[in-house]
Amino acid sequence: MMTSNQSVRNLLLALLLVFSGMAVWAQTPDLRFKTDKKFKIVQFTDTHIIADDPASEAAFKTIGEVLDKEKPDLVVFTGDVVTGKPVEKGWSLVTEPVIKRNVPFAVVFGNHDDENGLSRAQISDLLVRMPGCLFVPKVENVFGYGNYVLEVKSSSGSNKAALLYCMDSNAYSTIAGLDGYGWFHADQIDWYREQSKKQAVANGKVLPALAFFHIPIPEYTEAYKNEKNAPIGIRLEDECSPKINSGMFAAMFECGDVMGMFVGHDHVNDYVAYLHGIALAYGRFSGGKTTYCDLPNGARIIELTEGERAFKTWIRTGSGDVLLPIQFPQDFLPKK
């Protein structure tokens, strides 16, 4: 339930955006395929914003340039978005180009987002008050913040046509004596399975789905080395996956809805690989010189077509170049 203080803050934020010329949603944005049967997503990842550092300007510029060229239906920030103080100002700056263009957006957390004075819970409270933000902070009895499903409706009605799973891949190991990055907890995998089953029953069929999270699961390494279906794109560092494989890939394979997953975390990887019918993809690093990267910054674009278990994807750099166009799954299947 929304408190009176939250209502006042929402009203003040709405008025501020109105007077600054930004669009304001009166209700949660509706995601749906356009009349041409297309739905376009822009993935920004690892922006590593430090609000008062001029090096962050490169990220803001790229975000604006990509949005103007691609005109997406949805933006997804896949973690390590704001990594320096002041955190509130950083989130305001990085989302301003998206809100100003009236584009709905989703967020999943990375391992660095809650290291600068605000917890995941506090950042969640900040996000849910932003116009056009589809973030869902907490599911009861499910570990982490930001485990939710976005439904994309058909172009001609209220039927669901595609699903987008957004998940918290967590930060670091929570087991004493085991270092390294975090992994999906058992209750998160159970939650995914339950959501997938509910959606299949409710829709009378398995809908095509994508998944977005920050830390690549261990299967990324296996997929990259898959000699039968060669990866497409750049790999300049080893995958920094957790040391524990908790079984999320197996769950998605068994449920049969997720056809592609999209992560960040490793700044100089942008490849798409193929394993057991699923695309394991990186975004393109979207930040500036507040952290490491030897690639021109940019974003990954994903375009769905209504009624098809397939998608197109490419990299759009901040300077406008289009790189590595891929048709999934066609480009990974044996040539006839």
| pLDDT tens digit at each of 336 positions of the chain | 344 444 434 444 443 443 344 445 545 789 999 999 999 999 999 999 999 999 999 999 999 999 999 999 999 999 999 999 999 999 999 999 999 999 999 999 999 999 999 999 999 999 999 999 999 999 999 999 999 999 999 999 889 999 999 999 999 999 999 999 999 999 999 999 999 999 999 999 999 999 999 999 999 999 999 989 999 999 999 999 999 999 999 999 999 999 999 999 999 999 999 999 999 999 999 999 999 999 999 999 999 999 999 999 999 999 999 999 999 999 999 876
Write the DSSP symbol of residue 318.
Answer: T
pLDDT at 4: 41
For residue 64, being part of any structural domain is answered with yes
pLDDT at 17: 44
- Nearest residue to 153 (alpha-carbon basis) of 162, 165, 166: 162
Domain containing 233 — which CATH number?
3.60.21.10
For residue 174, being part of any structural domain is answered with yes
pLDDT at 57: 97
For residue 147, being part of any structural domain is answered with yes
pLDDT at 300: 98
For residue 150, being part of any structural domain is answered with yes
Task: Using the Cα atoms of residue 133, residue 42, residue 264 and residue 305 in order, give the sign of their dihedral.
Answer: positive
257 vs 197: CA distance, rounded Å: 10
For residue 197, being part of any structural domain is answered with yes
For residue 5, being part of any structural domain is answered with no
Q: How many domains does the chain have?
A: 1
135 vs 149: CA distance, rounded Å: 10
For residue 70, being part of any structural domain is answered with yes
pLDDT at 27: 55
Burial (0-12, 13-18, 19+ Cβ within 10 Å), 175: exposed
For residue 12, being part of any structural domain is answered with no
Range of the domain at 292: 28-331
This prediction has a pTM of 0.92
252 vs 271: CA distance, rounded Å: 20
199 vs 171: CA distance, rounded Å: 28
